[in-house]
Structure 1
Amino acid sequence: MVEPTTPSTRRRAVPQPRWILLGMLLAVLGSVLFVNAYTNASFTPDHQQSSRGQREVPTSVVTGGPIISANSEQVRSYRLPDRTIALTFDDGPDPVWTPEVLRVLEAHQVKGTFFVLGSQVSRHPDTARKLVDGGHELGVHTFTHPQLSELPGWRRELEYAQTQLALAAVTDVRTSLVRFPYSSHADAIDNHDWPLVKAAGDLGYLTVLNDTDSQDWALPGVDKIVMNATPDGTSGAITLWHDSGGDRAQTVAALDRFIPTMKERGYRFVTVTEGLNLALAAAGAEQRMDAGVAASVGERWRGRMLVWAVRGADHTLSVFGILFVLVGVLTVGRTAALFVLAGRHARRRRAKGWTWGPPVTAPVSVIVPAYNEKEGIAAAVCSLASGDHPGGIEVVVVDDGSTDGTADIVEALRLPNVRVVRKPNGGKPSALNTGVALARHDLIVMVDGDTVFERDSVRRLVQPFADPRVGAVAGNVKVGNRRSLIAKWQHIEYVIGFNLDRRLYETLRCMPTVPGAIGAFRREALRYAGGMTEDTLAEDTDVTIALGRAGWKIVYEETARAWTEAPSSIGQLWKQRYRWSYGTMQAMWKHRRSVFDRGASGRFTRRCLFFLSLFGVLLPLLAPVIDLLALYGLFFLDRKATAVAWLAMLGVQMLTAVVAFRLDREKLGVLWVLPLQQFVYRQLMYLVMIQSVVTALTGGRLGWQKLRRTGLEPIASRTR
C-alpha cells in the first residue's frame, strides 16, 4: 500500500503499466487454469471403441504378438517365449498404490514395466524415481491419457514428447516403449488404429499391447483378477495391470497371489524389453533392445520447466480450492450476520414507540459542493430548499471553480434560503470545508451536487441528533435513473451492498462511511475529526473513521432518502468505483496504526478495519474464484455438480436480495436482472478491485475522474 496522495499528485493519471500488469495477471491466471485442465483430463480405463475393419492391417500383426515394431519401411511383431510373463502397469505413478505394488514385486524379486502418464510423473517425481532406482522399466502411456485416434498427429506427438520430457526431468532417462490408452490385444487393431502404430514406429517407438488383461480397474475381486491375468497353457504373456486410477487394494492382493502361483507353474518374470530380447535370441537375431537411454541435458532442462508448470498449476488450483472455501465461509458468514443483525436493526427501528428522543428542530445548514453540475444542480437545490424541517434549512452551494455556469444557474433560482459561494477550484474536501466554515448552524448536512432530496429527508436525517452521543448520520441513498440495465444493477447493489450493510455496521458500532450523497454531522464532531481532508480520494470514509475513532456514535437513518444519478455507462461506472475502492484503501491505510490505540479509538478502528478488510476488500477480491472455478468446472469437471454449486451461491444472493429489498421497502420486480448481474457487472467489479489493489501496491496515483451527468427527473414523476 502506498502513502495517501497529496493534492499536487492526485490529478496525474494512472500510468499505463498498471493496465499491462493487470493484463499479465489475468493472462497468467488463465494459463495456469489451462495447464491444470490439460493435465487433469479425465479418463476411464474401460473405454469402448468400435471396430473400423482390419483390411489395412497386416495379417502378421493381427495374428502376431503384443510387441509391434512398425514403421513406413517394415513391420514386425513379437511374442514372449513360453512360460515367460511380463507384468505391465498402466496409468501411474500413484503416490499410494505404486509403492504398494513395488512392495509386492520386491518381496517376490520381480521386475515390472510401468507405462506412465507424463502428468503423473510430473506430480509424483519421487515415486517415478523409485521405479528406476528399483530396476523397473518405464514406457510412455501419453501425458494426459486421451483417445489418440481422435487427436491430430501433432497432438499425438506432443503427448509422447511431453511424457519423455517429464521422464527426462525426473528420472534422467528416456524410453522407446509406448502403449496407447484404451489399447488391448493385437487382434483388436483396426484400420483406425493402424496409422497410429505406424506413426509411433516412425518416431522410434515399439508399441506394446497385452496378451491378458487383469481388468483390475473393474474391481471384480482377487480371484477374478488372477484368472483374467493367467495365460493359457504354457504360453508367454504380457499381462496388463493398473497401479493408479483408483483403489488398487485388489490389484496388490492379486499380484501377491499371482506371482508365486505362476512361479510354481514354471514361469519366469521379465520386463518387456527382457522378454523381447529373449524372443530375438530364440529367433537367432543379433539385435538387442535397451530398456532406456540417458536423456540429454537439454531434455532434462526442458522437462524441468514442464514439471514446474504442471506442479505450479496444481498448487495454484489447490490454493483456489482453499480460497473457494474461504469465500464460501465469508459469504455465508456475512449473509448470516446480515440476516440476524440487520433484521434486528430494522425491527427495533420500526417498533411502535421507537424514537431517538425529543424532536430535533434546530436549524440545519446544507452544504452542496459543486463542480460543473449544471445538469442536476437546479433540481438538487430546489429539493433541499423546499424541505419541511421545522427549524429551517440554509443551503450553501460552494461552486468550486465550475466552468459550465453552475453558480449562475443556482443564483437564477432566487431562492431566499440559498447562498452561492464561488471559489477557485481546489477539490471537493476544500469546497466542503469552505461551506462548513460559512454555515450559520451547528447541524451540517452534506450533499452531492447531483442528488435530489425528498421533502422530509433533511428533517428525518437530523432526528438521530436527539441522542447527544451521535456525531454523524448516514442517509439512505437511492438510484434515481433505473431505466437501463446497468442502472438496475447499481440499484440492486445500493440496496444490498450499501443500505443493508449500514444496518449491520451500526449494530456493530463500526460504520465506515457516511455517504457524500446524504450525510449529516455535528459541527463539534467535524471539529474533533479535523474536518474534511485531502489525504484520500474517499474523504467521506476518511472523516467517518476519524469520527468513530473520536468516540462519536455513527448511525443509519433509513427513512431519510436521497436520489442520486448512477453512472449510465461501463466506462463511467469503472471510474467511479475505481476511485471509491482506491480511496477506501487509502483511508484504511491512513488509519492503520490506530488499531493499536487504547480506548474508543482502538476499539472502533479494530472493528471497522476488520470488517472493511473482510467484506470490503478480501471478499470482493477473492469472489472471482467462484466464477473461475464454475467456468473451469463446466468445461473440465462434473457439469451438473458445478451448476448446482453455482446456482446454490446464486440462491444465497437472491435470498439476501429479497431480505434487503423487503427491509428497504423496495419492489422485488427488478430482481429478475440479478442472475444477469453475475455475468457482467460482478466481473467488472472484480476487475475494479484488482486494479485498485495493483495501483495501491505499485504506488500509482489516481485522479478525481469527474463523471458526466445527464440530470435526474423530478422525484414526483418516479414511482417506487
Structure 2
Amino acid sequence: MTLPALLGDLWGAILAYVFFYPVLMSLVWMIGGIGFYLRFERKPHRRVDQPPLREHYPLIAVLVPCYNEEANVEETVDALMELRYPNFEVIAINDGSKDRTGELLNTLAARYPKLRVIHQVENQGKAVGLNTAALLTRAEILVGIDGDARLDPHSLHWLVRHFDEPQVAAVTGNPRVRNRSTLLGRIQVGEFSSIVGLIKRAQRSVGLIFTVAGVITAFRRSALHEVGYWSPEKLTEDVDISWKLQMADWEVRFEPRALCWILMPETLRGLWKQRLRWSMGGTQVLLDYWPQLLSLRRARLWPLCIEYALSILWACLFALLAVYRVTDLVLYRIDLQSAPILLLGWAGLLIGTTCLLQMMLSLILDRPYDHGLLRNYFWTIWYPIIYWVITAATSVVALPRILLRDTGKRARWTSPDRGIKPDASH
C-alpha cells in the first residue's frame, strides 16, 4: 500500500471515529438508562415527596464547604433547615472567605441550633474543608453539598435507604439547574438530564459510577476513613473519591430522586473555567491511578477507563478535524456546505437524530422530578454545537496542563461563577 493510500485510510478512520463514536455512546447510554429505569427507578415509585418510611433514622451530617458565598449561603442554609428528615445536623465550613460569608454563617448559627460553623483562617480547598468537618461529627452518614445548593426537603430520605446495604459507600443525587435565564443556562438544563443523568443511570446499570456529583453525595464515613478521605491535591475531589472507593471494592450508586437545585455558569468565560477544571480533574485521576488499574483485581473498572480514554481521544480528533476544516475554509475558500461543522448528509442526519432521541428520553426520565422540563427541549438541540466544541477544546488544553502540574500542589478554589439570574421557581 502506498503512503498516500495509507494516509487516506487513516483520515477516513479519523472521520468515521469522530462522527460515529458519539452515536455509539449515545445508544449505549440510552440502553443503560432504560435498563436503570426498569430495574431501579420504577419501584418503589417515582414520587419525590413520598419517600419510603423507615423504622430507624440514623444521624446524618450535611457538610457545606463555602468560599466567598455571601450571595447564596443564607438561602442554602435556610433550605437545609426545611429538610423533612428527622435526625440531621449541618456543618458549614468557611474556607477563608474574603467576603461576608463567615459573618453570615455566624448569624445563621445563632438562629439555627442544628448548624455548626467551622472557620478556616486560609483558603485550604474544598477537600480540606470536607475532611475537617468529617472529623468533627459522630454521624456515620455524611452528605456533601456546595454553598449555593438547595436540597429538596426529601432528599436525605432517598439517600439514606441505600446505606442499609453494607457494601454501599456513596450515593450521588440528581443535580438540577435552577438558573435558566440565558441560552447557556437552558442548554445546561438539558445537559444535566441527557448527559449527566443518563450517563449515571447507564453506569449504575453495570455497577460503576465514573464520578459522584460534588454538589450532592452521601458517604459512609467508615468507607471514607478506609480510603483516607478526600485528597487535597486533586482538582476534582468528587472524581477522585469515587475512584478511591470503587478501587477499594466499595459500591457507589446513583439516586435520581435525591434532588439538589444548583446554579451553573451562564457566561462563556465561567463555563470554560468550570469545564476546564472538570477535564483536568478527570484526566488527573486517570493518570494517577492507571498503574493500579493494570491489576486484574481492578478489571471491573476497566470499562470506565476505556470509555474516558476514548472520549479524550475523540475530543482531540474532533479538535484536529475542526482546525483542519477551518484552515481549509479560510485559506482555500471551500464551499460552506462541505464544512463538517454543519454536519450535512446522512452522517449528520444520523448524529442529529440520535442526539434528539437521547435528549428526549432523558428529559422524559427526569420529568417527574423537574416539572416543565420538556419546555427546554428546543434549547437542548443546540448542545452539540456549543458543548462539543468546549469539550474538545478543554480536553486538548487539560492534558498538557496536568502533565506539567506539580503533583503535590494543593487544589484551592476561587470565587465561582454562579450564573446571572436564578430562576425563582425553585
Q: Give the TM interval when normalised to the shorter protein.
A: 0.7 to 0.9
Corresponding position: 1:569 with 2:267 = yes
C-alpha separation in 2, matches of 1:317 and 1:397: 59
C-alpha separation in 1, matches of 2:364 and 2:325: 30
Corresponding position: 1:422 with 2:119 = yes
Using the TM superposition, give the Cα deviation of residue 332 of structure 1 relative to its aligned residue in structure 2, in angstroms: 2.7
Matched with 1:554 is 252
Using the TM superposition, give the Cα deviation of residue 671 of structure 1 relative to its aligned residue in structure 2, in angstroms: 2.2
Whose RCO is larger (CA < 8 A, sep 6+)?
2
Corresponding position: 1:518 with 2:227 = no
C-alpha separation in 1, matches of 2:400 and 2:7: 20
Asked whether the equivalents of residues 65 and 126 of structure 2 are also in contact (C-alpha less than 8 Å), the reply is: yes
Corresponding position: 1:504 with 2:202 = yes
Using the TM superposition, give the Cα deviation of residue 691 of structure 1 relative to its aligned residue in structure 2, in angstroms: 1.0
Matched with 1:332 is 23
Using the TM superposition, give the Cα deviation of residue 636 of structure 1 relative to its aligned residue in structure 2, in angstroms: 7.3
Using the TM superposition, give the Cα deviation of residue 529 of structure 1 relative to its aligned residue in structure 2, in angstroms: 1.5
C-alpha separation in 2, matches of 1:353 and 1:452: 24
Corresponding position: 1:373 with 2:64 = no
Q: How does 1:245-284 map to 2 (within 5 A)?
A: none
TM-score (norm 2): 0.86
Matched with 1:145 is none
Using the TM superposition, give the Cα deviation of residue 504 of structure 1 relative to its aligned residue in structure 2, in angstroms: 1.1
Distance of aligned partners of 1:348 and 1:315 in 2 relative to their CA distance in 1, 3 Å threshold: same
Return the letter of the residue paired with 1:368: V
Aligned length: 404
Correspondence for 2:152 among 454, 473, 485? 454
Matched with 1:280 is none
Correspondence for 1:687 among 382, 393, 411? 393
Distance of aligned partners of 1:712 and 1:362 in 2 relative to their CA distance in 1, 3 Å threshold: farther
Correspondence for 2:366 among 648, 654, 664? 664
Q: How does 1:469-508 map to 2 (within 5 A)?
A: 469-508=167-206
Asked whether the equivalents of residues 36 and 205 of structure 2 are also in contact (C-alpha less than 8 Å), the reply is: yes
- Deviation string 1:435-482 (CA, Å, 9 cap, x unpaired) is 101122110000111111111112212221122211100100111101
Matched with 2:48 is none
Which structure features the higher share of helix residues?
A: 2
Q: Which moved more, 1:534-543 or 1:355-364?
A: 355-364
Corresponding position: 1:537 with 2:239 = no
Distance of aligned partners of 1:675 and 1:342 in 2 relative to their CA distance in 1, 3 Å threshold: closer
Distance of aligned partners of 1:529 and 1:340 in 2 relative to their CA distance in 1, 3 Å threshold: same
C-alpha separation in 1, matches of 2:169 and 2:421: 30
TM-score (norm 1): 0.52
Return the letter of the residue paired with 2:348: W
Return the letter of the residue paired with 2:385: F
Using the TM superposition, give the Cα deviation of residue 323 of structure 1 relative to its aligned residue in structure 2, in angstroms: 1.7
Residue identity over aligned pairs, in percent, reads 25
Q: Say what the alpha-carbon RMSD is for the aligned residues.
A: 3.0
C-alpha separation in 1, matches of 2:235 and 2:171: 21
C-alpha separation in 2, matches of 1:711 and 1:450: 13
Matched with 2:32 is 341
Matched with 1:247 is none
Unpaired runs of at least 5, structure 1 = 1-94, 96-122, 125-310
Q: Which moved more, 1:419-428 or 1:325-334?
A: 325-334
Asked whether the equivalents of residues 174 and 258 of structure 2 are also in contact (C-alpha less than 8 Å), the reply is: yes
SS at 1:494 equivalent: helix
Matched with 1:650 is 352
Which has the greater radius of gyration? 1
Distance of aligned partners of 1:680 and 1:511 in 2 relative to their CA distance in 1, 3 Å threshold: closer
C-alpha separation in 2, matches of 1:437 and 1:712: 36
Matched with 1:278 is none
Distance of aligned partners of 1:673 and 1:630 in 2 relative to their CA distance in 1, 3 Å threshold: farther
Return the letter of the residue paired with 1:416: P
C-alpha separation in 2, matches of 1:582 and 1:488: 25
Distance of aligned partners of 1:324 and 1:710 in 2 relative to their CA distance in 1, 3 Å threshold: closer
C-alpha separation in 1, matches of 2:343 and 2:294: 46
Return the letter of the residue paired with 1:521: F
Asked whether the equivalents of residues 575 and 705 of structure 1 are also in contact (C-alpha less than 8 Å), the reply is: no
Distance of aligned partners of 1:679 and 1:607 in 2 relative to their CA distance in 1, 3 Å threshold: closer
Asked whether the equivalents of residues 172 and 254 of structure 2 are also in contact (C-alpha less than 8 Å), the reply is: yes
- Deviation string 1:40-93 (CA, Å, 9 cap, x unpaired) is xxxxxxxxxxxxxxxxxxxxxxxxxxxxxxxxxxxxxxxxxxxxxxxxxxxxxx
C-alpha separation in 2, matches of 1:349 and 1:531: 28
C-alpha separation in 1, matches of 2:264 and 2:12: 36
Q: How does 1:285-324 map to 2 (within 5 A)?
A: 318-324=9-15
Corresponding position: 1:718 with 2:413 = no
Matched with 2:418 is 709
SS at 1:679 equivalent: helix
- Deviation string 1:499-518 (CA, Å, 9 cap, x unpaired) is 11111111122212111100
Matched with 2:131 is 433
C-alpha separation in 1, matches of 2:255 and 2:130: 22
C-alpha separation in 1, matches of 2:187 and 2:320: 21
Using the TM superposition, give the Cα deviation of residue 582 of structure 1 relative to its aligned residue in structure 2, in angstroms: 0.3
Using the TM superposition, give the Cα deviation of residue 544 of structure 1 relative to its aligned residue in structure 2, in angstroms: 0.7
Asked whether the equivalents of residues 385 and 394 of structure 1 are also in contact (C-alpha less than 8 Å), the reply is: no
Return the letter of the residue paired with 1:692: A
Correspondence for 2:276 among 574, 578, 583? 578
Using the TM superposition, give the Cα deviation of residue 673 of structure 1 relative to its aligned residue in structure 2, in angstroms: 2.3
- Deviation string 1:109-154 (CA, Å, 9 cap, x unpaired) is xxxxxxxxxxxxxx99xxxxxxxxxxxxxxxxxxxxxxxxxxxxxx
Q: How does 1:58-457 map to 2 (within 5 A)?
A: 318-353=9-44, 361-390=57-86, 392-413=87-108, 414-424=111-121, 425-457=123-155
Distance of aligned partners of 1:568 and 1:713 in 2 relative to their CA distance in 1, 3 Å threshold: closer
Asked whether the equivalents of residues 471 and 553 of structure 1 are also in contact (C-alpha less than 8 Å), the reply is: yes
Distance of aligned partners of 1:676 and 1:629 in 2 relative to their CA distance in 1, 3 Å threshold: farther
Distance of aligned partners of 1:578 and 1:558 in 2 relative to their CA distance in 1, 3 Å threshold: same
Asked whether the equivalents of residues 489 and 681 of structure 1 are also in contact (C-alpha less than 8 Å), the reply is: no
Unpaired runs of at least 5, structure 2 = 46-50
C-alpha separation in 2, matches of 1:618 and 1:342: 24
